[in-house]
A and B are shown apart, each in its own frame.
Chain A
Amino acid sequence: MKKPASKFAGFTRKYAALPYGVFMAVFVVFPLIVLLLYSFCETADGSLSFQFTFDNFKKVFSEDNFSMLINSLLVGLYTTVICLLIGYPVAYLLANKNYNRSSVVVMLFMLPMWVNFLLRTLATKAMLEFFGISMGMGTVVFGMVYNFLPFMILPIYTTIQKIDYSLIEGAADLGASARVTFWKVTVPLSLPGVFSGITMVFTPTITTFAISKMLSNSKISLIGDYIDQQVKHLNYNVASAISFVIIIIVGISMIILNKYDKESTNQGGGLW
């Protein structure tokens, strides 16, 4: 039986989330709607005229931007693959009790994530210059890997850590060799982490501006630099259009990720 007092309390507590809801609606959802409007409209002198058009998207995918788009794709691909090749073993070893028991070491791997990426990029640039390496695609990829590696390690580490150890023991008991256990048990179960790592590396790589500019002496510009440029020239519509494309890409990968997530957390119940 419920007492009226607690009923009332439940009522007030429920509404504690309302300010947050309003705030998120105004500053997160509404701006995205504005962005969507901008990307499908023409602007005359900064004021919106609601003339539906695909021109902004045509401009984004025009021939002038061909090298920018290809470069973004290549840099994103190289960076993601290299991060995965380095990050997976690191995450695996960190999560394995035989090799690492210290949370400080894990912390050290995550720490660079919290240091401003401009500082890290400046430091990288200085070091590359010291060794006389000429700036180009290679140095951009190097800087990106250096910047985004923790974002690959963290999700993989968390998923591997969550794997039920009895499954691995079970596989061994049933006669699987360490290698087979790794490929047939650990890897499949860590796939959600891998996938989220890939999204967390790929999208920032292609959209973060300034890194590619600094590490290639402005020779290579990626999607992020392009957006920055469009904003500087007050081409808000084109900037919005390309942002919209990014949203779609991120959205698709989120949907795939959620699907994975549902399969793996069905037993757990999850946070929400």
Chain B
Amino acid sequence: MVKKIMAKTFLGTVLAAMYLPILWLIVFSFTNTTSISSWRGFSFDAYIELFTGSNSDDILKAIINTLIIAVCASAISTVLGTAAAIGINSVKSKKIKFAYKQTNQIPMVNSEIVTAISLMLLFGMFRSFIVLEGEVQLINVILAHTTFCTPYVLLNVLPRLQQSDNKMYEAAMDLGCTPTQALWKVVIPDILPGIIMGFIMSVTLSIDDFVITQFTLDGGIYTLSTLIYSKASGKKPLPIEMRALSTIIFIVIAALLLYANHKSTSEQKKKKTNTGAKKSPKRSKI
């Protein structure tokens, strides 16, 4: 019992310490001091400034850019990664599997900055053939984000494929489906949760990315993270609307992830009861 209390206290303390600065930021988004270190009464000024202030246009543009990149890169990654998973799952040769595995690992284990530099050099080479200017540069960033999102999609889809029964696919074709029909009507619905999980992961990874975006985008075009960096790296204190923005981003990401987590645990539960396994103990207790 004592052990249990000690353990809980320890976990609680670490969690509290981890969240303290974020909570700090959230609390201080509701006051209007320029520096975050003194409290000057409750106000919504930061939020008003965020939506109507002089920087609001830039912020809106950055948000739009971030979303364009996240959605495009995630969509491409999801298609590429899912197709790849289906392909790799049906490849028999161990050597080819090994090659795919190793390549898939590279963007995940490589240092972000190394990926960033190498892609920057690549796009620099492209520049001698075609010059992308202004908003068109986003194509580069989308491609860059696709490189580090696709491996995660693949890793989310592949286990699903391996769990699913290949006989279903064969049965569908025995019953007269063409391979394409069997793919869309049997395989894809079966692995859909993995595909959705991969997509959500890609979106959060892409929105969260800073280093790779910073090196592949320039010329006054910003995404949220690079905009925050450009505002934060100067000598001036961080503009107050950035606090409000950070709070909103944090809450959105937290909601997305808690939703994804809830979804996957409830699905596991469903599976357990379906197969008649012993019901897992109550999980909702914190």
> Bound state CA distance, A38 and B111, in angstroms?
18
Give the number of A-B contacts (CB < 8 Å).
261
Tell whether A130 pairs with B36 under 8 Å between CB atoms, given A29-B103, A99-B7, A250-B109: yes
Q: Are B20 and A127 in contact (CB under 8 A)?
A: yes
Query: Which of A24, A38, A116, A246 has a CB less than 8 Å from the CB of B208?
Result: A116
B12–chain A nearest beta-carbon distance, Å:
9
Interface centre among B20, B85, B87 (most CB of A within 10 A): B87
Q: Is B233 an interface residue (CB 8 A)?
A: yes
Q: Are A118 and B225 in contact (CB under 8 A)?
A: yes
Q: Is A260 an interface residue (CB 8 A)?
A: no
A159–chain B nearest beta-carbon distance, Å:
17
Tell whether A239 pairs with B283 under 8 Å between CB atoms, given A17-B88, A115-B250, A127-B24: no
What mask results when residues 115 to 148 of chain B are scored 1 for a CB within 8 Å of chain A, else 0?
A: 1011111101100000000000000000110110
Q: Is B210 an interface residue (CB 8 A)?
A: yes
* Nearest residue, chain B, Cβ from A92: B7
* Nearest residue, chain A, Cβ from B170: A6
> Bound state CA distance, A252 and B85, in angstroms?
28
Q: Is B192 an interface residue (CB 8 A)?
A: no
Pick out which of these stretches binds chain B: A8-16, A51-59, A67-75, A164-172: A8-16
Residues of A within 8 A of B105 (CB): 254
B171–chain A nearest beta-carbon distance, Å:
11
B175–chain A nearest beta-carbon distance, Å:
12
Q: Are B111 and A204 in contact (CB under 8 A)?
A: yes
* Nearest residue, chain A, Cβ from B174: A3
Report the interface size class on chain B: 35 or more
> Bound state CA distance, A105 and B238, in angstroms?
32
A90–chain B nearest beta-carbon distance, Å:
6
> Bound state CA distance, A17 and B93, in angstroms?
13
Q: Is A27 an interface residue (CB 8 A)?
A: yes
Residues of A within 8 A of B115 (CB): 31
Residues of A within 8 A of B143 (CB): 27
Q: Are A5 and B24 in contact (CB under 8 A)?
A: no
Q: Is A231 an interface residue (CB 8 A)?
A: yes
Residues of A within 8 A of B195 (CB): none
Restricting to A71-119, which residues have a CB under 8 Å from any CB of B?
A: 86, 89-90, 93-94, 96, 98-105, 107-112, 114-119
* Nearest residue, chain B, Cβ from A47: B128
A37–chain B nearest beta-carbon distance, Å:
9
Q: Is B18 an interface residue (CB 8 A)?
A: yes
Pick out which of these stretches binds chain A: B40-48, B49-57, B252-260, B270-278: B252-260
Tell whether A28 pairs with B87 under 8 Å between CB atoms, given A6-B173, A250-B110: no
Tell whether A34 pairs with B118 under 8 Å between CB atoms, given A20-B80, A123-B21, A210-B233: yes
Residues of A within 8 A of B113 (CB): 207-209, 224, 227, 243, 246
Q: Are A102 and B283 in contact (CB under 8 A)?
A: yes
Query: Which of A111, A199, A246 has a CB less than 8 Å from the CB of B257?
Result: A111
Tell whether A126 pairs with B24 under 8 Å between CB atoms, given A20-B150, A227-B113: yes
> Bound state CA distance, A210 and B210, in angstroms?
10
Restricting to B166-195, which residues have a CB under 8 Å from any CB of A?
A: 169-170, 173, 179, 182-183
> Bound state CA distance, A243 and B117, in angstroms?
8
What mask results when residues 206 to 246 of chain B are scored 1 for a CB within 8 Å of chain A, else 0?
A: 01101100010000000011001100110000100010001
* Nearest residue, chain B, Cβ from A206: B111
Q: Are A17 and B257 in contact (CB under 8 A)?
A: no
A85–chain B nearest beta-carbon distance, Å:
11
Q: Are B257 and A107 in contact (CB under 8 A)?
A: yes
A28–chain B nearest beta-carbon distance, Å:
5
Tell whether A126 pairs with B286 under 8 Å between CB atoms, given A231-B117, A271-B158: no
Q: Is A18 an interface residue (CB 8 A)?
A: yes
Q: Are B179 and A12 in contact (CB under 8 A)?
A: yes
A233–chain B nearest beta-carbon distance, Å:
14
Residues of A within 8 A of B211 (CB): 208-209
Interface centre among B37, B118, B204 (most CB of A within 10 A): B118
Residues of B within 8 A of A117 (CB): 210
* Nearest residue, chain A, Cβ from B242: A122
Q: Is A23 an interface residue (CB 8 A)?
A: yes
Q: List 8 A-B contacts (CB under 8 A).
A: A12-B179, A24-B147, A28-B147, A119-B25, A126-B21, A204-B112, A227-B117, A250-B114
The 3 closest A-B pairs by CB, nearest first: A17-B87, A20-B84, A31-B118
Residues of chain A whose beta carbon lies under 8 Å from any beta carbon of chain B: 3, 5-6, 8-10, 12-21, 23-25, 27-32, 34-35, 38, 46, 86, 89-90, 93-94, 96, 98-105, 107-112, 114-120, 122-124, 126-127, 129-130, 146, 149-150, 199, 203-204, 207-210, 213-214, 224, 227, 231, 236, 239-240, 243, 246-247, 250, 254, 271-272
Known contacts A24-B147, A115-B250, A116-B208; 16 additional CB pairs below 8 A are A3-B173, A9-B182, A13-B89, A16-B90, A17-B84, A17-B100, A20-B150, A24-B150, A27-B147, A29-B103, A46-B124, A93-B7, A105-B11, A107-B258, A110-B257, A116-B210
